[in-house]
Amino acid sequence: MAAFGSFALLIALALAAYNLLAGALALRLIATGQPARISPERLADTARRAGIVGFLAVTAAAFALIWSVFTNDFSITYILEHSNRALPGAYKFSALWSGQEGSLLLWAWLLGIYGFVLRLTHKTDVKLYAYAGTIMAGIQVFFLAVLNFAAPPFALLKGAIPYDGNGLNPLLQYPEMVIHPPMLYLGYVGFSVPFAFALGALMMRYPGEKWIKVTRVWTLVTWLFLTAGIFLGMHWAYAVLGWGGYWGWDPVENASFMPWLTGTAFLHSVMMQEKKGMMKSWNVWLIFSTFLLTLLGTLLTRAGLVSSVHAFAQSSIGTWFVVFMGIVLAVCIFTYVLQRSHLKSEHHLESLVSRESSFLFNNLVLLTACFVILWGTLFPILSEYAVGNKVTVGAPFYNRVAIPIGLFLLFLTGLGPLLPWRSTSLKSIRRNFVVPIIALWATVIVCFAVGVNPWKDGTFSNGSFYAIVSFAVSAAVLTAILSEFLRGAGVISRQTGRNLLVSTWLLTRRNTRRYGGYIIHIGVVIVVVGLAGAAFNTSEEKELGLHDKLLIGPYTLECIGFTQDSNLNFNSEYAMLDVYRDGKKQFQMTPEKRVYLASEQPQTMVAIHSLPSWDLYVVYEGTNPDTSQPIIKAFLNPLVGWIWAGLVILIFGTFVALVPSIGPATAALRVPATRPAPTEPALKGGH
């Protein structure tokens, strides 16, 4: 199977190279109109077909690696290092992305899937799709070259073949890790598609903003995958690492967050180009930067340049990535300079108090956050290069800078919907902002009333202060968004006689992009509320003998015993804790510590009891070697569940935004014939 997989990768590389060279030659012949022995259109079609067959070849290679994992073929070095016989079947799939070579193969395979779908839909706009397909072939050539020459996943073991493998990294033996990395990669790889369309449209001087409309669904789906992947990673860190948190500003966490920030900026700013013909150069460079950041994230993780729980060991492929990123940047700059006259804006910003300005400030804030995180992530590498030793940038640096930036971004999230296009009158400001401002100050008063006071105990608490600001701004933003729904639904209700719920549904269906975006913003608000709860986290740690108790918040944890267990994959020991509240037993928790047999590495299995108000989070830290008694650490983490609830709302809003809107004529069929359908001016606007 190793020979089959290696041959499949070699064939895939040859087909991708043909796709790139033949596609580029065909486009050149079409652009110049030069006579040729073969029809350029026919040559382009053979290039497209080579890309389709290349996807099948990469699929065959991925299948060969998975087959080798399930058949325990330890003659392949990669399988020996990342699997073992006792590994459960679900986690054998995880071996595909648990190591450097396999994760690069996953990159190439997902890129092949995206390219396959793109090439099947080429008739939408044959020339633009030909450019995009050729550019994606160039990206695929790079990854397949790395897989064939620098990081071959089917390299054979030299010497005797052992009976069993070293096993999968214990950190990956958790259900979410079966879907978190592929989801993240679908986001990373997916940004290749809008990048290819943007670069291709610029190369061919594609007229108008049609390329943005063509790529909108691609970009939104990719953004959704990346968002879900980031949140799944947060939940994995929360449930597995046992430190009580979900985001530690780890370099690899940052590497996934940066393209999310620029991708989010792109999704907002393209609306300016579609509606006003503005920010054309800005949008092109946003998507260029997003793609380059996905490559940087892959480089940081795969080349071992940074210290991270996610990163792999030092590797020679770093040079490959640096060279490829340099080539991509050079091509982007050359194309932009050559075609920059095509990107002149048709309009200019008329007022600083307008929806256009809110989009502009939104972009600036997102890019500022991205730059700060990029600087902090690369600083250890730069410091080592400059002074010879790594200077690590920790969470306090990011929190000091990122929290104010995030709060300002949250403010802009609520500000945008309240501002009309072009300019805003003073009367409009008073009418639209009065209710959100009331909600803001009412929330501040409630916070102080329930005891949330940054000056409590005579010292100023940054955490409490930022939490109050977060709650207050979240309330204002939520009020602003809901008022937009109620205003539009009220118009439909008056004109159709339907209730507000049905009217809200009709309103959303009339402009799914705008109101789906508002639902996404509601999800973001809920997430921010959940994040703000971290300011009030508390923890207690204690060695518990039989029937000893640990008090935390309203709970009393009583140890009723601890025991051991084992299976073919790991040995475990865990504590059994009865949890009481107000003297009454509520439930039992069993935090666990595992030691995996193949790798002899320990792993924490956290016990979590979630409520809307807080999580009771309990870690079994092992036993005291002197007393043989379990050491228990408990956290009370307020509002964590709101983060995961916000993700669900965010995903729902994205699906709504992806659904095509119904036109006025269709909407009219959905309301009683005796009343007029809602008029367009009353509901006009966009998001």
Using an 8 Å Cβ cutoff, are 156 and 77 in contact? Answer: yes
Interval 169-193 mean pLDDT: 89
pLDDT computed for residue 352 by the predictor: 65
Confidence of residue 687 (pLDDT cuts 50, 70, 90): very low
**251 or 291, higher pLDDT:** 291
Q: What is the residue extent of each domain of the chain?
A: 1-173, 402-535+645-683, 537-641
- Average pLDDT of the chain to the nearest whole number: 87
Interval 221-227 mean pLDDT: 95
Interval 460-482 mean pLDDT: 91
Asked which of 124-133, 382-391, 529-538 is least confident by mean pLDDT, the reply is 382-391
Q: What is the pLDDT of residues 391-417, one digit of tens each?
A: 778 888 898 888 999 999 998 887 777
Q: What is the pLDDT of residues 42-59, one digit of tens each?
A: 899 999 999 999 999 999
What whole-number percentage of the chain has pLDDT above 90? 50
Q: What is the pLDDT of residues 627-670, one digit of tens each?
A: 778 899 999 999 999 999 999 999 999 999 999 888 654 444 44
- How many other C-beta atoms lie within 10 A of the C-beta of residue 581? 13
CA-closest candidate to residue 615, choices 585, 635, 645: 635
pLDDT computed for residue 358 by the predictor: 77
Q: Inform me whether the pLDDT recorded for 671 exceeds 50.
A: no
- Give kind and range of the element (H or E) at residue 301: helix 280-302
Q: What is the pTM of this model?
A: 0.90
Confidence of residue 676 (pLDDT cuts 50, 70, 90): very low
Give the Cα-Cα-Cα angle 52, 48, 327 (nearest 5 degrees): 100
pLDDT computed for residue 350 by the predictor: 61
Interval 27-53 mean pLDDT: 85
- How many other C-beta atoms lie within 10 A of the C-beta of residue 585? 11
Q: What are phi and psi of 597, to 5 degrees?
A: -70, -40
Asked which of 8-17, 194-203, 304-313 is least confident by mean pLDDT, the reply is 304-313
Residue count of the chain: 687
Using an 8 Å Cβ cutoff, are 413 and 524 in contact? Answer: yes
pLDDT computed for residue 361 by the predictor: 85
Interval 139-144 mean pLDDT: 97
Confidence of residue 200 (pLDDT cuts 50, 70, 90): very high
Q: What is the pLDDT of residues 64-91, one digit of tens each?
A: 999 999 999 999 999 999 999 988 888 8
pLDDT computed for residue 349 by the predictor: 63
**164 or 122, higher pLDDT:** 164
Confidence of residue 625 (pLDDT cuts 50, 70, 90): confident
Q: What is the pLDDT of residues 285-335, one digit of tens each?
A: 999 999 999 999 888 876 666 655 555 445 678 889 999 999 999 999 999
- How many other C-beta atoms lie within 10 A of the C-beta of residue 229? 22
- Give kind and range of the element (H or E) at residue 559: strand 555-566
How far apart CA 102 and CA 105 sit, in angstroms, is 5
